[in-house]
Each structure stands twice: as C-alpha cells, then as structure tokens.
C-alpha cells in the first residue's frame, strides 16, 4: 500500500507550482499587474501609446509625449499697435494650438521686461526665453549683423528679403550661437524715414543737426558723413529727447514714428526709405538646449511661417500710419530720384569702409546676390523705362524709392 502524503503538503505543492509559473510569466513580460508610472497614469498592462487624436508634434512617433507643459516668455520693444507685436501674438497662438496647449508663449511688448540691451542679456543668461531685437542692438556681439543697416543700399524689398532669407542671412543667424542666442528668422518694422523740425531733402540739410541713433557703427558713420552729430539714445527715451531738444531729429519706420508719437514733437517727415529696420527673432541658447527636439522644431517652423505674414502686415499698415502723420499737421516730403542719388553718392564709402567689420565672405555673398537681383530687375524693366528717366543715374544703386 502506497503511503499518502499529508493533506497540507499537497496544497503547498500546488501553491508552489502556481507561484513558479507566475514568476516565469512576469520574468518573460507576458503579464504584469497594473501600476502607476512616474507621471501617475496607469499603464493598464499595455504599452504606452499616443491617443488617436494626439498626433506627435514632429514626424517621429511619440515626440509629443516628450514635451511636458511649459510656458515661455517673449519680449520686444514695440507698442501693441504694431505689426511686430501682432506677429508675435500670432506666433504664440500658433505654437500653442499646434502643441495642443503644451507650449504657451507669453508676449511682453513695449520694453516691459527691460530695454533692448537688458533683454538681450537676459536671454543670454536664460532668464528670458525668446527675444525680438533690432539688428543694430545685436551689433556689439555680432558686428557683421550691421550690414542690414547699410543706408541707401537696397533697391527693393524683394532684394533685401532674398538676402535675409538666403545664405547671407543664415550666416548672420549662425553667428548668434556663440554669444548665447539661437537665431531663428528676420522680422522687421519696415524701411526707415527721417524726421526733424526742418526739411531734409539734401545731405547739406543734415549739417550741424543732432540725430538720435541706435548703437551701430554704420548708423553713426552714416550721420557723420551727412554732417550731423549722432547721439545714441535708447528707443523708449527718444520721445523725451526730441521734446527736450536734446536732439533735433531721428530715423525710424512709420510704425515707430506713430507708435511712439514722434509726430507730436517733429514738424517734418521725409519719406526716404533709406534703410531697413530688421529684427531678429531668437531663442535663448540655454533654454533651447533644454527643450526636446520636437519643441525646437515647432518653435522654428512656426516662426519661419509667420515671417511672410509679418512683412506683409508691416507694409499694409504703413499707408494708415502715413495718413495719421499727415493728420497731425506734419509736413511730408518724398525724395525724388535725383535727391536720392545725392545721398547715395554721399554714403557710397560705407560698404567698403566696413567690409572688414562685416566680413569679406559675408560682404561678397551680399554683393553677389544684390547684383544678381538688380540685374534681373533692370532687365525686366528695360522695355518699360522711358528714355528721359534718370539720365545720369543708370547703373547706380537704389536711386529710386524702395517698394
């Protein structure tokens, strides 16, 4: 007769077998009880996947899951009633929408976070996330960026935009990385005009006048060559300087002249279209380097898309700004082609004088692109140009108003 095991032993053997099988299944990854991961969302025993209505921000699957909700700050110096601010607000909305609310951008206009130089330093240190700054204000860190300030140099908006969006512009944006900024794209306030309390139609009209300027060696040289005294003053202090008589005039696009109410303290406006006031949209390198790739891609892509809209909106608003200046009683004059040519000749030495500062490679790239576009424009317009027009100015640069 075979001895029977004690009743308790059989139960223990069955339990042991069950535990061994369960251990093997867990080790093989076939089954796992529900548990909460670090983010507090149960996995429900299945691999984590994106919900059907939550497509990743970038092309790679799962990219959106890598972005934790974050809020970024963007600062600039322009008033709220400006195309630049409208573009910044549009940029913020698009980024938030495309990230399903994961990335919010708070826009601070009118130098609320500090003046341009202060905001630049904040961005370098990582205490300001995004920045819109005039190129002239970046010239201390990147001297080459002053090429945008060259006066009476560009024959059309199309030529300038092609340069900014092409190889020369990218060369400049790349130069911002070593100083702590990631250059994204070029926006702008439009072409600059002169204001003063007297007519400005010839270089001689500038003699002995004091002009408010930004800290740009090229802009300072521009006014010295015209016989004026350049006085660097912060943008938000310009109105008071004009009102007090500390300076006699200034240069700015129409949006700034209206937005800062310079027409209240200046009696004459000269539509010269002599230089472009470009802004760089940049991201703090310290902030950028901590973002996931999908967030970086989104911030750059949306900025580039908004660029065209910002430029068109700037140009669209100029007509209204001009009417507001006229309504204030300001005397408005437009330089003729012959008058522009005198300024061109008076300032023709600036590009060569600053070639070393700009960089020979960048200067050559700009000259090549500008020459190609001007030749193309000349060729397309040759059939419609009247024989008596600009009789001694053929071949000179920018002798007609920029449009």
Residues 330 and 288 in one domain: no
CA distance 208 to 186: 34
Contact 51, 274 (CB under 8 A): no
Span 35-70, pLDDT tens digits = 333 333 333 332 232 333 333 334 434 445 457 899
pTM of the complete model? 0.78
Alpha carbons 130 and 72: distance in angstroms, whole number: 7
Whether residues 263 and 297 share a domain: the answer is no
Place of tokens 């909700």: 69
List CB contacts of 326: < 8 A, sequence separation 6 or more: 332
Q: Which residues, other chains included, contact 335 with Cβ-Cβ below 8 Å and sequence gap of 6+?
A: 201, 270, 271, 272, 343, 401
The interaxial angle of helices 360-381 and 157-165, nearest 10 deg, is: 140
In a domain, 122, yes or no: yes
Q: Tokens in use for 4?
A: 């029977």
Q: Are 256 and 353 contained in the same domain? A: yes
Q: Are residues 170 and 203 in the same domain?
A: no
- What does the block give as tokens for 130? 């995004």
User: Residue 324: CB partners within 8 Å, gap ≥ 6?
Assistant: 258, 263
Is residue 335 situated within a structural domain? yes
- 74 domain-assigned: yes
Specify the DSSP class assigned to residue 384. Answer: G
Which structural domain, as residue segments, surrounds residue 164?
64-137+160-188+278-315
Confidence class for position 322, pLDDT limits 50, 70, 90: very high
Q: Are residues 203 and 261 in the same domain?
A: yes
Q: Does any domain span residue 55? A: no
265 and 291, same structural domain?
Answer: no
Q: What is the pLDDT of residue 8?
A: 56
On whether residue 402 sits in a domain, the answer given is: no
The predicted-structure confidence for 3-39, as pLDDT tens digits, reads as follows 455 555 555 555 556 555 555 444 444 333 333 333 3
The answer on 238 and 208 residing in a single domain is: yes
Q: Is residue 44 part of a domain?
A: no
DSSP code string of 48-82: ----TT---SSSSTTTGGG---EEEEEE-SS-SSS
Q: Is 156 exposed, middle or buried (0-12, 13-18, 19+ CB in 10 A)?
A: middle
**Mean of per-residue pLDDT scores for the chain:** 84
**What's the structural domain count of the chain?**
2
Reported as type and span, the H/E element at residue 362 is helix 360-381
Whether residue 53 is contained in a domain is answered as no
73 with 209, same domain: the answer is: no
pLDDT (tens digit per residue) in 97-119: 999 999 999 999 999 999 999 99
Say if residue 169 is in the same domain as residue 200.
no
Residue-wise DSSP of 7-32: HHHHHHHHHHHHHHHHHHHHHHTS--
Beta bridge pairs of residue 281: 132, 185
Residues 213 and 336 in one domain: yes
Considering the domain architecture, whether residues 225 and 176 belong to the same structural domain is answered as no
Instruction: State the CATH number of the domain containing residue 105.
Output: 3.40.190.170
CB 228 within 8 A of CB 207: yes
Distance of CA 8 to the CA centre of its chain: 80
Residues β-bridged to residue 134: 279
- Residue-wise pLDDT for 281-317, tens only, equals 999 999 999 999 999 999 999 999 999 999 999 999 9
Examine the domain organization and report whether 368 and 301 are in the same domain: no
* Domain termination site, one of 315, 336, 368: 315
């Amino acid at each position: 007769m075979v001895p029977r095991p004690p009743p308790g032993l059989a139960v223990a053997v069955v339990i042991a077998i069950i535990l061994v099988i369960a251990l093997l299944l867990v080790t093989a990854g076939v089954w796992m009880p529900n548990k909460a991961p670090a983010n507090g969302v149960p996995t429900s025993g299945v691999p984590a996947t994106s919900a059907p209505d939550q497509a990743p921000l970038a092309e790679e699957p799962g990219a959106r899951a890598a972005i934790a909700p974050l809020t970024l700050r963007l600062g600039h110096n322009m008033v709220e009633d400006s195309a630049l601010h409208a573009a910044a607000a549009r940029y913020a909305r698009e980024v938030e929408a495309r990230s399903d609310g994961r990335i919010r951008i708070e826009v601070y206009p009118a130098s609320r976070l500090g003046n341009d130089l202060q905001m630049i330093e904040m961005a370098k240190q990582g205490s300001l996330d995004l920045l819109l700054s005039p190129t002239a204000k970046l010239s201390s860190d990147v001297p080459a960026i002053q090429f945008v300030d060259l006066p009476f140099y560009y024959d059309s908006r199309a030529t300038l935009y092609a340069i900014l969006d092409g190889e020369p512009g990218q060369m400049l944006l790349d130069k911002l990385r070593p100083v702590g900024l990631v250059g994204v794209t070029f926006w702008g306030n439009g072409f600059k005009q002169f204001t003063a309390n007297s007519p400005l139609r010839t270089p001689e009209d500038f003699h002995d006048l004091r002009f408010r300027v930004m800290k740009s060696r090229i802009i300072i040289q521009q006014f010295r060559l015209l016989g004026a005294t350049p006085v660097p003053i912060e943008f938000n202090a310009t109105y008071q300087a004009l009102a007090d008589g500390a300076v006699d005039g200034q240069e700015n696009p129409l949006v700034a002249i209206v937005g800062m109410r310079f027409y209240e303290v200046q009696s004459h406006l000269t539509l010269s279209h002599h230089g472009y006031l470009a802004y760089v949209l940049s991201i703090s390198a310290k902030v950028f380097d901590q973002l996931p790739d999908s967030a970086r891609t989104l911030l750059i892509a949306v900025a580039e898309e908004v660029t065209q809209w910002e430029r068109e909106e700037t140009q669209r608003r100029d007509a209204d700004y001009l009417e507001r200046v006229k309504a204030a009683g300001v005397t408005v004059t437009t330089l003729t082609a012959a008058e522009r040519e005198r300024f061109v000749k008076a300032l023709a030495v600036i590009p060569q004088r600053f070639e070393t500062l700009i960089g020979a490679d960048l200067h050559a790239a700009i000259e090549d692109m500008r020459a190609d576009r001007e030749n193309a424009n000349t060729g397309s317009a040759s059939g419609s140009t009247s024989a008596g027009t600009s009789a001694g100015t053929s071949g000179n640069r920018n002798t007609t108003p920029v449009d």
